């Protein structure tokens, strides 16, 4: 396993600062790459570990009890603004929503904003509208049913086939509240239970078929389109494992040249007249081999470090374009570059092997790619990784202590 060499751009004008809103591993990768280029980096986020990076010169953590939108507004749209004149990158879905809703005010405040159309950006945050958009354009999607306010709930459910996904329309809010993106119902009883739980939380949702197939059938397309619709980068990858299966963050992902994924991705972004950085998530249906569009992200994602490691200098391309400097297109990526969460990946494999019947030897062989990078660990900037591990150990210790306390308290059953 080798670490990627840091990219350089000697002709780059680095005087315009960068301000990252929200996110986690994606924001950390941007902090490091922009910081090494000599660009001043600021960040506002809830995450703790990422803000410890030596390359983040203006870190601000959103307190747990404070609404993120309120905090962004206080720091960006008042007289005491953070890094006025900076390029703002929305790295989390809450930040995407805030920037889209306040696009005009942020521009008037002097910030440089990403090229995304704010109305389209909000539309693509809505998972139902995304699938509707693709379906109406004749692009392949899973079967889905819109049930929010449906007059004929029984008729809708009768037409569906199990297992079903109950997918909240605002996935990021559900994930923040419950720690997972959607719910899976294998029976009518579990469907009604999940429906009532979502209704109690005031979370509208849609029903969607669970596209069958292993995690390795999950693939992605990335692009950056300028205001004239020209692609300044594109890139495809495959996810080998996720935790939880079929839903969670990819724990081992590899760069792979996937022409049919690229072709479908180009069609989607051209059809929507999309501008800016975008990521289309798809899954290949194991029954037919057909690719089906799952969702679209209008921001940098958790595999940003993988893009850089494979020669896709997305940070420089986007920064150059937004600051009026000529960007050199990068089409395609170095193959067999992996991004790996070691502990999470071992856990993901342990769960998956019950259905795949693979052995631990198969897991070891699956890791044999030419280059592997990590979302947090870098020897030159160790504080975020150490903080992340320290936080995980602290939470585990408190969980064990709480369990022991319950067992030793009179009248309390374990």
The alpha-carbon radius of gyration of the chain (Å, integer) is 22
At residue 120, what are phi and psi to the nearest 5 degrees? -65, -35
Percent of the chain, pLDDT > 90?
Answer: 68
**Over the stretch 48-89, which tens digit does the pLDDT of each residue have?**
999 999 999 999 999 999 999 999 999 999 999 999 999 999
Helix, strand, or coil here: 113? coil
Cis before residue 163, ω within 30 degrees of 0?
A: yes
Q: Which residue has the higher pLDDT, 305 or 396?
A: 305
Q: Mean pLDDT, to the nearest integer, of 317-345? A: 93
Residue-wise DSSP of 11-28 = T----S-EEEES-SHHHH
Q: What is the pLDDT of residue 408?
A: 62
Q: Which residue has the higher pLDDT, 402 or 371?
A: 371
**Over the stretch 220-246, which tens digit does the pLDDT of each residue have?**
999 999 999 999 999 999 999 998 888
**Over the stretch 122-180, which tens digit does the pLDDT of each residue have?**
999 998 899 999 999 999 999 998 886 555 677 777 777 888 888 888 777 777 777 77
The dihedral sign for the CA sequence 281, 285, 291, 293 = negative
- For residue 88, CA distances in Å to 98, 117, 232 come to 12, 15, 19
**Is the separation of the CB atoms in 218 and 186 below 8 Å?**
no
pLDDT at 413 over 70: no
Q: pTM surpassing 0.85?
A: yes
Q: What is the pLDDT of residue 315?
A: 95
Q: Mean pLDDT, to the nearest integer, of 111-120? A: 97
Q: What is the pLDDT of residue 203?
A: 87
**Over the stretch 244-271, which tens digit does the pLDDT of each residue have?**
888 788 999 999 999 999 999 999 999 9
Mean pLDDT of the chain: 90
Q: What is the pLDDT of residue 370?
A: 83
């Amino acid at each position: 396993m080798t670490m990627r060499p840091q990219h350089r751009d000697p002709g780059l004008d680095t005087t315009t600062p960068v301000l990252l809103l929200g996110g986690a591993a994606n924001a950390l990768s941007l902090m490091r790459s922009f910081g090494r280029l000599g660009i001043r980096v600021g960040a506002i986020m809830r995450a703790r570990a990422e803000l410890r990076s030596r390359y983040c010169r203006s870190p601000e953590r959103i307190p747990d009890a404070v609404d993120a939108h309120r905090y962004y507004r206080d720091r960006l749209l008042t007289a005491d603004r953070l890094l006025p004149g900076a390029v703002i990158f929305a790295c989390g879905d809450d930040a995407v929503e805030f920037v889209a809703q306040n696009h005009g005010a942020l521009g008037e405040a002097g910030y440089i904003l990403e090229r995304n159309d704010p109305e389209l950006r909000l539309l693509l945050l809505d998972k139902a509208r995304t699938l509707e958009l693709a379906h109406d354009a004749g692009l392949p999607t899973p079967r889905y049913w819109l049930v929010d306010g449906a007059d004929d709930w029984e008729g809708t459910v009768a037409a569906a086939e199990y297992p079903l996904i109950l997918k909240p329309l605002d996935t990021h809010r559900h994930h923040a509240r419950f720690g997972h993106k959607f719910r899976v119902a294998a029976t009518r009883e579990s469907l009604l239970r999940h429906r009532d739980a979502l209704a109690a939380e005031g979370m509208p949702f849609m029903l969607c078929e669970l596209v069958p197939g292993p995690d390795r059938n999950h693939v992605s397309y990335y692009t950056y389109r300028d205001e004239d619709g020209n692609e300044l980068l594109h890139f495809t990858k495959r996810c080998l494992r996720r935790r939880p299966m079929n839903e969670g963050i990819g724990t081992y992902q590899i760069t792979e040249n996937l022409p049919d994924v690229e072709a479908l991705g180009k069609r989607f972004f051209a059809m929507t007249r999309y501008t800016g950085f975008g990521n289309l998530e798809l899954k290949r249906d194991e029954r037919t081999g057909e690719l089906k569009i799952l969702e679209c992200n209008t921001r940098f994602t958790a595999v940003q470090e993988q893009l850089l490691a494979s020669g896709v200098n997305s940070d420089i391309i986007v920064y150059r374009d937004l600051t009026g400097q000529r960007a050199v297109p990068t089409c395609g990526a170095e193959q067999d570059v992996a991004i790996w969460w070691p502990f999470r990946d071992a856990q993901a494999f342990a769960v998956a092997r019950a259905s795949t019947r693979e052995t631990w030897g198969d897991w070891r062989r699956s890791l044999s790619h030419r280059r592997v990078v990590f979302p947090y660990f870098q020897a030159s900037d160790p504080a975020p990784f150490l903080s992340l591990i320290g936080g995980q150990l602290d939470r585990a210790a408190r969980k064990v202590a709480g369990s022991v306390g319950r067992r030793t308290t009179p009248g309390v059953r374990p």
